[in-house]
Structure 1
């Protein structure tokens, strides 16, 4: 299936969030604008053996209670988070989605999928009497694109289905891929976002990988956005924000040149002047790279613009979902009316594996 390609900028027409503030967009909006602290002590029975006794978890997120008993017996946590966020997005968007199920694509950003599922499945193979003595129902969870596939199956989405692995920049990478699907005519509507689960396996991996740079508590969640071409986002749909541009770069030891080049490319591609930018959202990255990112953005835009975007530290390090939550925080500002007409917000996302990405969103679209 190929639709007619369009040249207009993609528009966000609806969004949803499952976050440490709670399940649903409204919980996220109120929590992020209030700066509510979401850290809590981990239940020793459920989360035994981890390196830290605290995390930022989605409150009350029990799969069978949230999604029901059917089809959830072997579902892992990251899949449940994504399926729930897509459910809420489709439910809350109402008639905004003009595309059929066949014309609706899904793009989901991740780090590795579920590290816990991968390790559990591998452990079962190694500890069993035979390597093949494993529970076959758990095998799909060990595949990185399981969550995206389950979202499509649960909600009958039959368009392109893609998983983007990109660490903290995964949300913006998914956004870029989604704009490509719209621009090339491969879909009429794209549901895009990113998801990350908390697990004991992820906690240990992060603990050993980051070492002295590790500071923030781990968080989890999923944020999803409905994207349509501006030609389909009619006056009645009241688009929330236009995706003016998305750019990415790679770096080795020093982030500053790559981030500066990424900013310049976004402003040029989006035909945005420095005066149009009213807020800049930085990635919640601690350590040396976080300091470098903050220094570059402060030098370019000033501390006042960085201070206008809600801080994301209150939900912990949500890794793959962090950039998607940054977009959600800016949409939350717009819902409160704190966005100037035609203003542009810049989202910066840095992953310590050597990827930096920036996106520019123009508010509001009419």
Structure 2
């Protein structure tokens, strides 16, 4: 329960390494232009499998952001995360030194993290034996190693935590960062998410028949809420926010994209009937609104979790209808995964970054590919860029069989 004297948090910096570009400006331009980051997967051979597409981060060179020193033992995912953090710190006007690290923590959400490197390391042990491996081969292969390494690299002291709660991982990291600020345990928290596309994650979802086109017949398309939807397309990337206590941001005259105002989470166990799942998703939305002292009528942008899967899109649409009413009464709804793919544990942070930019600029990004809405998904879906003042935005990060969370951002005041 939020106390009356709780501190307030604002977003003062944004860092992005994504299939739509690097840095806030490139990401913003691609989103508002309705550009897709989805193309043929190049990171591994998909010829034995039916699904060929993914939203990969391409032409990424960590040395462009971090310099060459110290990169040799870092995985690709850790390099992406560290680069996004560097971009966010620069965007916030923060200098990386001991003084920064004394009161700045880091909280990163990821479902798979370094799972690809962990499995590769295990295979090497089994095939070659431990005596044939170098000590540094195991330096960056644990689930929490990314967060630990970036905390050391940027000299961050108050806290360094990895949140792994499936699809909601980075939304939960941002929500927990808000709690840390409110409780006075840090003046600043670097919060966000990271995921990599790999053969490992690809096969996890393919075997569970969650990917678009996995039946070899249906179209391989990311079209949230559309009647053609049949699964999601994998995405990846690193998305980071600088979450800062409001008085600290004011003291250094920092630009605030938005206020991080509310957060709530719930859990839906596997096998929950659709009606109960809808109620739980609606409850998460209402709880986040209450935590942010925001009414449903205040929301002028809803960033949906919809990823083009049959079940999630339907249940989220029903939850939106339950909270906001008929489509004509709803705020504009945008489903960004139509462009970025489903970046799993990093998706909440991706949506939060996009919402913060939208609030500051008064420009709402569209949904692409969704041409004819499913009869059960009748919502106020935004299909073209729209201008307008956004007093508050809601971000849904849902899973129909796991953690589901919601975040409220407000215009900073």
Q: Same fold (TM over 0.5)?
A: yes
Instruction: Assess, with a 3 A threshold, how the Cα gap between structure 1 residues 97 and 138 changes in structure 2: closer, same or farther.
Output: closer
- 2:146 counterpart of 1:123: no
- 2:208 counterpart of 1:209: yes
Counterparts of 1:76 and 1:233, CA distance in 2: 33
Residue 275 of structure 1 corresponds to 297
Deviation at 1:108, TM superposition (A): 0.5
The question of whether the paired residues in 2 share the 8 Å contact of 1:310 and 1:330 is answered with: no
* Mean CA deviation greater in 189-198 or 208-217: 208-217
Counterparts of 1:6 and 1:101, CA distance in 2: 26
Counterparts of 2:192 and 2:211, CA distance in 1: 30
Q: Aligned to 2:238, which of 205, 209, 222?
A: 222
- 2:248 counterpart of 1:232: yes
The question of whether the paired residues in 1 share the 8 Å contact of 2:359 and 2:391 is answered with: no
Corresponding residue SS for 1:100? helix
The question of whether the paired residues in 2 share the 8 Å contact of 1:121 and 1:134 is answered with: no
Deviation at 1:358, TM superposition (A): 0.8
* Mean CA deviation greater in 62-71 or 225-234: 62-71
Counterparts of 1:350 and 1:244, CA distance in 2: 19
Deviation at 1:57, TM superposition (A): 1.1
Counterparts of 2:185 and 2:153, CA distance in 1: 21
- 2:315 counterpart of 1:292: yes
* Mean CA deviation greater in 343-352 or 208-217: 208-217
The question of whether the paired residues in 2 share the 8 Å contact of 1:55 and 1:218 is answered with: yes
Deviation at 1:66, TM superposition (A): 5.3
Instruction: Assess, with a 3 A threshold, how the Cα gap between structure 1 residues 310 and 202 changes in structure 2: closer, same or farther.
Output: closer
Map Cα deviations across residues 142-168 of structure 1 (whole Å, 9 max, x no partner). 211111112122222233111110222
Q: Aligned to 1:332, which of 357, 374, 378?
A: 357
Aligned positions of 1:1-366 closer than 5 A: 7-43=6-42, 46-48=43-45, 51=49, 52-63=51-62, 67-95=66-94, 100-128=100-128, 130-211=129-210, 215-234=231-250, 236-252=253-269, 253=272, 254=274, 255-285=277-307, 286-301=309-324, 302-303=326-327, 305=330, 307-309=332-334, 311-338=336-363, 343-363=391-411, 365-366=412-413
The question of whether the paired residues in 1 share the 8 Å contact of 2:303 and 2:351 is answered with: yes
Instruction: Assess, with a 3 A threshold, how the Cα gap between structure 1 residues 300 and 69 changes in structure 2: closer, same or farther.
Output: same
Map Cα deviations across residues 62-106 of structure 1 (whole Å, 9 max, x no partner). 445654432222321211110010011112221599972111101
Counterparts of 2:246 and 2:96, CA distance in 1: 13
Deviation at 1:352, TM superposition (A): 4.2
What is the aligned length? 358
Report the TM-score, using the length of structure 2 for normalisation. 0.80
Corresponding residue SS for 2:184? coil
Counterparts of 1:318 and 1:343, CA distance in 2: 27
Deviation at 1:40, TM superposition (A): 1.8
The question of whether the paired residues in 2 share the 8 Å contact of 1:298 and 1:306 is answered with: no
Counterparts of 2:198 and 2:137, CA distance in 1: 16
Counterparts of 1:332 and 1:240, CA distance in 2: 7
Instruction: Assess, with a 3 A threshold, how the Cα gap between structure 1 residues 110 and 212 changes in structure 2: closer, same or farther.
Output: closer
Deviation at 1:185, TM superposition (A): 2.1
* Mean CA deviation greater in 218-227 or 205-214: 205-214
Counterparts of 1:225 and 1:187, CA distance in 2: 15
* Mean CA deviation greater in 180-189 or 336-345: 336-345
The question of whether the paired residues in 2 share the 8 Å contact of 1:6 and 1:184 is answered with: no
* Mean CA deviation greater in 144-153 or 188-197: 144-153
The question of whether the paired residues in 1 share the 8 Å contact of 2:258 and 2:360 is answered with: no
Structure 1 alignment gaps of length 5 or more: none
Report the TM-score, using the length of structure 1 for normalisation. 0.89
The question of whether the paired residues in 1 share the 8 Å contact of 2:17 and 2:237 is answered with: yes
Counterparts of 2:67 and 2:255, CA distance in 1: 33
Deviation at 1:212, TM superposition (A): 7.0
Deviation at 1:306, TM superposition (A): 5.4
Deviation at 1:49, TM superposition (A): 5.2
Residue 221 of structure 2 corresponds to none
